A and B are shown apart, each in its own frame.
Chain A
Amino acid sequence: MMLDASEIRSLELFDANCRLGPGEFTGSTAPVTSLRLLEEMARVGIHEALVYHSTAAQYAPNDGNAQLLSEIEGRPLLHGSYVALPHYTGEVKAPAGWVEVMLSSAIRAVRLLPRSHRYMLNDWCLEELLEHLAPHNIPVFLDFNRTHWAEDVVDYDQVASICKRHPMLPVILVREGIGSTRCLYSLLERFQNVFIEISYYQAAGGLADITRRYGAERLLFGTGLPDYSAGPAIAMLGYADLSFADKKKIAGDNLRRLLASAGLNPPYTV
């Protein structure tokens, strides 16, 4: 079997791990503007994407979140995700106000970068924010800036603690690698609110194995664009030993369901 372009398109891919804006190590030809990103998505067969902004992740969340809103305006296939921080330093509003502004901007996903932004996921650092996100079922994407699967960059104890404290809060681990498999399976076993974004999870047979053990609902398609190529994750999903229905869940329907649960509804669906 070679991959069939029409089959890829019929999966209605929804990229859960995609960024706008030039990054710290983005090359000059990478698709960093909304127009170029949409062109690249069309070239490889991705229908829509959940995007955050490099300025938010790699400079200052407030600045980048505002930039994100302006760059996705009028782009119905790009859906925004805010980058958040603990608020005690005054860099961002206190959670009640911050979440209210986010919801009013039709943003229904949050990305946390504790390693890059140098804070902890422990309750003493992040609990107020999570307490305000949980009632709205806002999916929380945890990004530890992994650059290789053998790096020990994730404190899974902290992840487990969040999942335990907030069992209704969807927690998505971004860019997990094969070196984390033993921790990931343990989390998937114990916490129903843990999800794995697959852009870097290239364990041979891994998607089918996780689906068999825990259900396709626990996996979200993502690419890592624009720093990384989209093709590998698409091909991995296309070749996976899974039913079309399960592939379609991973490809985008799981993310659509999570966002709908947080209040983001069509017309974003295909």
Chain B
Amino acid sequence: MRIIDCHAHLGRFKQTPILYPDAESMVRVMDVARVETLCVSSFLSIGPDCRLGNNTVAAATRAFPKRIVGYAVVNPNRPEEIQQELDRCFQNPGMRAIKLHPAFHNYSIMESGYQAAFAYAGEHAIPILSHEWGNPAFLEELSGRYPQIDFIIAHTGFWNGRSDFQYAGVLQRRANVFVDLVYSNVYYEVLERMVEQVGAEKILWGSDFPLHDLGYQLGRVLFSKLDDAQRTMILGGNMLRILGKSGVKL
């Protein structure tokens, strides 16, 4: 069973100490947990300095080309920089996707500052992971407008497993929309209910490592009541397919 982490980070974090802040130490932990590849964005990029953070991610992908795949991050508060920064990032073969963090950048995903990033991703068929996607209708429209982009909803869409899963409809209707499992709260049987609603083929495993513990986030799948085929898809198979479409051979 191959384990590919679709949502991880690199560097330090203002709110808590990070014990594995560099690629070398992260890879050692990955080896223990048998995590094959991490797809990472820099905490610095989702914070104040996209350019410098993206540079550290690019360097990590060069140091560990089979183990680390890079997300380029752009800041919608500086929209005039987006095109140039994405051009610069994707010169590096290890940078394969875009990560957006509307919460930390304090800018709604539905506002105009992100349009340049969507257009760029559409032109180059680059997957986009976003911390949040706002109104499901917005994601429905966007994923229809850009069928060549794979859209990843982070953090289970912050679903608690009991209320209506607001993204279930768009996940069911759009082949290019996925949801990741990174969420600090692991409500009882939320994964089993998510599989019932959207299917295992739409769910990606991620950890938020090195903020969150790899083992903790693996536990939500390993101790679930899913069968091996479903676990295989969620833990790595689905993300391998998405990366494969972007030309990543792992």
Interface residues, chain A, CB within 8 Å of chain B? 1-3, 25-27, 29-31, 44, 147-150, 177-179, 181-182, 200, 202-206, 209, 225-241
A30 touching B214, Cβ below 8 Å: no
Q: Determine the distance from Cα of A150 to Cα of B183 in the docked complex, in whole angstroms.
A: 13
Q: Which of B19, B29, B190 has the most CB of A within 10 A?
A: B19
**Stretch of B10-18, B40-48, B74-82 at the chain-chain interface:** B10-18
A239 touching B33, Cβ below 8 Å: yes
Pick the contact of B188: A1, A225, A235 (CB < 8 A). A225
Q: Determine the distance from Cα of A239 to Cα of B31 in the docked complex, in whole angstroms.
A: 11
**Stretch of B49-57, B117-125, B133-141, B220-228 at the chain-chain interface:** B220-228
- Which chain B residues numbered 164 to 204 have a C-beta less than 8 Å away from chain A? 184-191
**Stretch of B94-102, B107-115, B205-213 at the chain-chain interface:** B205-213
Please classify the interface of chain A as helix (H, G, I), strand (E, B), loop, or mixed, using the class held by over half of its residues.
loop
A27-B189 contact, Cβ under 8 Å, with A203-B16, A209-B19, A233-B219: yes
Pick the contact of A232: B15, B17, B219 (CB < 8 A). B219
B188 touching A236, Cβ below 8 Å: no
Return chain B residues, CB-CB under 8 Å to A226.
188
Question: What residue of chain B has the Cβ atom nearest to residue A226's Cβ?
Answer: B188
Return chain B residues, CB-CB under 8 Å to A177.
184
Q: Which of B19, B184, B213, B223 has the most CB of A within 10 A?
A: B213
Return chain A residues, CB-CB under 8 Å to B216.
202, 232-233, 235-236
Q: Determine the distance from Cα of A29 to Cα of B188 in the docked complex, in whole angstroms.
A: 8
Return chain A residues, CB-CB under 8 Å to B18.
204
What distance in Å separates the Cβ of A7 from its nearest Cβ neighbour in chain B? 13
- Which chain B residues numbered 24 to 68 have a C-beta less than 8 Å away from chain A? 29, 32-34
B212 touching A235, Cβ below 8 Å: no
B160 within 8 A of A: yes
Interface residues, chain B, CB within 8 Å of chain A? 15-20, 29, 32-34, 160-162, 184-191, 209-224
Q: Determine the distance from Cα of A202 to Cα of B15 in the docked complex, in whole angstroms.
A: 14
Question: What residue of chain B has the Cβ atom nearest to residue A208's Cβ?
Answer: B19
A25-B33 contact, Cβ under 8 Å, with A44-B223, A205-B20, A227-B188: no
A selection of 27 A-B contacts at a CB cut-off of 8 Å is: A2-B34, A3-B222, A25-B160, A26-B188, A30-B189, A31-B188, A149-B184, A178-B15, A178-B211, A178-B212, A181-B17, A202-B184, A202-B216, A202-B217, A204-B212, A205-B20, A206-B19, A227-B188, A229-B186, A229-B189, A229-B191, A232-B215, A234-B219, A235-B215, A235-B218, A239-B213, A239-B215
Pick the contact of B161: A27, A148, A237 (CB < 8 A). A27
What distance in Å separates the Cβ of A211 from its nearest Cβ neighbour in chain B? 12
B189 touching A205, Cβ below 8 Å: no
Return chain A residues, CB-CB under 8 Å to B186.
228-229, 231-232
Q: Determine the distance from Cα of A150 to Cα of B15 in the docked complex, in whole angstroms.
A: 8
Q: Determine the distance from Cα of A254 to Cα of B211 in the docked complex, in whole angstroms.
A: 26
Pick the contact of A205: B29, B187, B190, B224 (CB < 8 A). B29
Q: Which of A31, A149, A179, A235 has the most CB of B within 10 A?
A: A235
Return chain B residues, CB-CB under 8 Å to A148.
184-185
Q: Which of A25, A149, A179, A203 has the most CB of B within 10 A?
A: A203
Return chain A residues, CB-CB under 8 Å to B218.
235, 239
Return chain A residues, CB-CB under 8 Å to B17.
181-182, 203
What distance in Å separates the Cβ of A133 from its nearest Cβ neighbour in chain B? 31
Return chain A residues, CB-CB under 8 Å to B223.
44, 229-232, 234-235
